[in-house]
């Protein structure tokens, strides 16, 4: 018999007009197409957004050709045990910190860069703590299958080369970006991370939940 989780945290930023977006990506636009308040028989909204709007999953195809698209990501990466940890303060997250986590094969790692209880910023941030290439390589070496962050990208803003993406996606990891990790305490959970099934997509907005 299914035992419902005692606690559930929704990590998903609501899609809305004026949601902060990565410069160069499409802005989220939500338009009323039909409205019962205006005499229509139903309510229908029209959405315009990018594949990396809000809380989203990056598939390897985001930066690499001829590799896994978002509709072909394995369930084994998107569903299962996950660990939420607080990243150290500073401009970068280095390999020594990742080694201290003692990750195991099949790990799903969620890195919180803001202090607990601090909500996502209302505007697109000018900077954020990002992984170093060496830290990304440690995550790959440990056999992780998913990395989640509460920042718009695993790379630094305006990084000259998306090295961290290339290391992680090149190893076949799924990336969960722009997750709201402000509420759950550090610890072990079950992650449910379901991106939209966009055929041959490089990524997709998703609904991400933590449960225990």
Among residues 52, 56, 62, 165, the one annotated as catalytic is 62
d(CA 151, CA 131): 11
Q: Dump pLDDT digits (tens) for 136-157.
A: 999 999 999 999 999 999 999 9
d(CA 194, CA 161): 28
The interaxial angle of helices 163-170 and 133-141, nearest 10 deg, is 10
Please indicate whether residue 62 is annotated as part of the active site. Answer: yes
* pLDDT in the model for residue 91: 86
* pLDDT in the model for residue 18: 87
| Nearby residues of 144 by Cβ (< 8 Å), 6 or more positions away | 103, 106, 107, 108, 109, 173
CATH fold for the domain made of 52-211: Glucose Oxidase; domain 1 (3.50.30)
**Prediction pTM value:** 0.95
The token pair at 87 is 């990243």
Q: Dump pLDDT digits (tens) for 30-43.
A: 999 999 999 999 99
Burial of residue 99, with CB atoms counted within 10 A of its CB: 0-12 exposed, 13-18 middle, 19 or more buried: middle
Pairing of strands 203-211, 44-48: unpaired
Residue by residue, DSSP assigns 59-85 as -GGGTSTTS--GGG--HHHHEEEEEEE
Kindly give the confidence (pLDDT) of every residue in the chain, 212 residues in length, as a single tens digit, with 9 standing for 90 and above: 566 778 999 999 999 998 999 999 999 999 999 999 999 999 999 999 999 999 999 999 999 998 999 999 999 999 999 999 999 988 899 999 999 999 999 999 999 999 999 999 999 999 999 999 999 999 999 999 999 999 999 999 988 899 999 999 999 999 999 999 999 999 999 999 999 999 999 999 999 999 99
Q: Tokens 């990084």: give the residue.
A: 159
CA atoms within 13 A on the CB side of 47: 8
* pLDDT in the model for residue 97: 97
């Amino acid at each position: 018999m299914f035992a419902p989780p005692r606690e559930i945290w929704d990590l998903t930023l609501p899609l809305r007009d004026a949601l902060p977006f990565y410069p160069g990506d499409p802005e989220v636009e939500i338009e009323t197409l039909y409205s019962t308040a205006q005499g229509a028989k139903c309510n229908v909204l029209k959405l315009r957004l990018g594949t990396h709007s809000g809380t989203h999953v990056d598939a390897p195809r985001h930066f690499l050709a001829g590799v896994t698209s978002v509709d072909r990501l394995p369930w084994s990466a998107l569903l299962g045990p996950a660990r939420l940890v607080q990243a150290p303060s500073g401009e970068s997250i280095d390999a020594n910190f990742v080694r201290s986590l003692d990750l195991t094969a099949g790990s799903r790692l969620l890195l919180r860069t803001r202090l607990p209880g601090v909500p996502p910023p209302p505007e697109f941030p000018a900077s954020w703590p990002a992984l170093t290439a060496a830290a990304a390589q440690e995550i790959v070496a440990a056999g992780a299958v998913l990395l989640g962050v509460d920042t718009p990208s695993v790379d630094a803003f305006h990084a000259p080369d998306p090295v961290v993406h290339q290391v992680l996606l090149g190893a076949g990891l799924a990336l969960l970006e722009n997750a709201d990790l402000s509420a759950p305490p550090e610890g072990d959970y079950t992650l449910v991370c379901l991106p939209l099934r966009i055929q041959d997509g490089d990524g997709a907005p998703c609904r991400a939940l933590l449960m225990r």
